[in-house]
Amino acid sequence: MTNDVVLHCGTCGRDHRLEELAWRCGDCRGVLDLAGFTPVLPSLPELAGARPTLWRYASALPIAEPIDIGLGEGMTPLIHAPGRTDIMLKLDYLMPTGSFKDRGAVLLAALARRLAVPRMLADSSGNAGTAIAAYAARAGIACEVYVPASTSAGKLAQLRAYGATVHAIPGTREDTAAAAARAADESGNFYASHVYHPFFLHGTKTYAFELWEQLGGRLPGTLVLPVGNGTLVLGAYLGCRELLARRLIDRIPRIVAAQAESCAPLAAAIRTGSTVPVDVAARPTAAEGIAIARPARGRQILAAVRSTGGTIVTVADTEIRTAHAELARAGLYVEPTAAVCWAAVRAGRIGGSGRSSSSPAVVAPLCGSGLKAEPPAEALDISPRA
């Protein structure tokens, strides 16, 4: 990482040094993005023999590999979907802490240690928090995680096992974020936010790099991605843009993002032509991990999806449960949130894929392990099937 890297506010233009520990613009409170860094992506031949972790792309990441922090994150399997040869699933739930959030968390922990911060803070419905807690533990940094009071017992147990202090906040997901933001403004705290800190997006962009490499230097016609706060949508889009800039691909795949019908401010914006998320009254959903009524980077998410010719679709909880059960019967045990993309695919909501003869039509991730979620009632029925 060079000393020229800064956090840049696209709204008012102010730059913040990394040492300021800013998590939003100090002037206009806008979101911050990375500036002063030029990624260098290796070619396929240059990657031959590299270790199977996301750090094989170290030259395209804004911080050097933290040798003693990493857990072998990255290069997750890519397999065919149940009964489909034109659709593939990337198994990010096999990451060290059980979700794709490890991609961004390891970069934030590396930065926190470089800046010698005494404490990392995070807010999360579970997966981001457990990832931050795990890598903070590896880095020897104290960690506090703010979670909704409704967070599943499995995720809470994992957080506490890593030694994190857990703050369970009553109310909505937004109430949790507000509580964390108040703590983040206290001097010396490093807000390791998967939403606000752009280092996290530079971790999740490796999802696109890995797909490109695993598909032999190509990408699918369509990327189907879950969207709540948009960390995977924006990260994958960033990774695709960097591949295109390096002329390693000739087009960016169409991005179709999937939301739970019960909390879909971005899908509503697509329907109405709005450039910002639509105000919605969130209802409970099985897909707790993407139940975000007011995504902070909503404007960026909508712009990214539209620029690819993509869209944002919704799925009902009944469809999520059916998809979840179908994946499990195929040997893929994920949390309900991770079944959202498969629910959208099997319901036929993806539309044209732009498939070429040399790449799959669609790739979707399975983002979080089912071992961390409360099992649905039907999963507790152990009676043999006829």
- On the 0-12 / 13-18 / 19+ scale of CB atoms within 10 A, 354 is middle
The CA dihedral of 162, 104, 99, 195, to the nearest 10 degrees, is 100
Tens digit of pLDDT per residue, the chain (386 long)? 456 899 999 999 999 999 999 999 999 999 999 999 999 999 999 999 999 999 999 999 999 998 899 999 999 999 999 999 999 999 999 999 999 999 999 999 999 999 999 999 999 868 899 999 999 999 999 999 999 888 878 788 889 999 999 999 998 878 888 999 999 988 889 999 999 999 999 999 999 999 999 999 999 999 999 999 999 999 999 999 999 999 999 999 999 999 999 999 999 999 999 999 999 988 999 998 899 999 999 999 999 999 999 999 999 999 999 999 999 999 999 999 999 999 999 999 997 655 445 678 999 999 999 987 766 555 444 444 44
* Token duo for residue 362: 């669609």
Q: What is the pLDDT of residue 360?
A: 87
- The Cα–Cα gap between 253 and 323 comes to 24
Q: What is the DSSP string of 290-326?
A: G--SS-TTHHHHHHHHHHTT-EEEEE-HHHHHHHHHH
> Are residues 187 and 328 in contact, defined by beta-carbon separation less than 8 angstroms?
no
- The Cα–Cα gap between 382 and 386 comes to 12
Distance from the Cα of residue 177 to its chain's centroid:
17
Secondary structure element (H or E) that encloses residue 239, with its range: helix 231-245
What are the start-end ranges of the E strands in the chain?
Answer: 6-9, 15-17, 32-35, 78-80, 87-90, 119-123, 142-148, 165-169, 189-191, 222-226, 254-260, 311-315, 362-365
In angstroms, the Cα distances linking 142 to 117, 157, 330 are 9, 17, 40
Reported residue count of the chain is 386
- The Cα–Cα gap between 362 and 86 comes to 7
> Are residues 147 and 173 in contact, defined by beta-carbon separation less than 8 angstroms?
no
Q: Give Cβ neighbours of residue 289 (< 8 Å, ≥ 6 apart).
A: 125, 126, 127, 226, 228, 335, 337, 338, 367, 368
Q: What is the DSSP string of 86-105?
A: SEEEE-GGGSTTSBTTHHHH
- Determine how many CB atoms are found less than 10 A away from the CB of residue 79: 14
- The Cα–Cα gap between 122 and 367 comes to 19
Q: What is the pLDDT of residue 361?
A: 93
Q: At what angle do helices 265-272 and 298-307 cross, to 10 degrees?
A: 50
Domains and CATH numbers, the chain: 78-98+203-378 (3.40.50.1100)
Q: What is the pLDDT of residue 372?
A: 79
Q: Taking the CA atoms of 188, 193, 197 and 200 in sequence, report the sign of the dihedral they define.
A: positive
Q: Name the one residue in this structure whose structure tokens are 């990394």.
A: 18
Specify the pTM.
Answer: 0.94
End-to-end CA distance of the chain: 59
> Are residues 133 and 165 in contact, defined by beta-carbon separation less than 8 angstroms?
no
- Determine how many CB atoms are found less than 10 A away from the CB of residue 38: 11
Q: Give Cβ neighbours of residue 47 (< 8 Å, ≥ 6 apart).
A: 56, 213
Q: Taking the CA atoms of 207, 255, 279 and 264 in sequence, report the sign of the dihedral they define.
A: negative
In angstroms, the Cα distances linking 222 to 87, 225, 306, 329, 367 are 10, 10, 13, 25, 17
* Token duo for residue 311: 């869209």
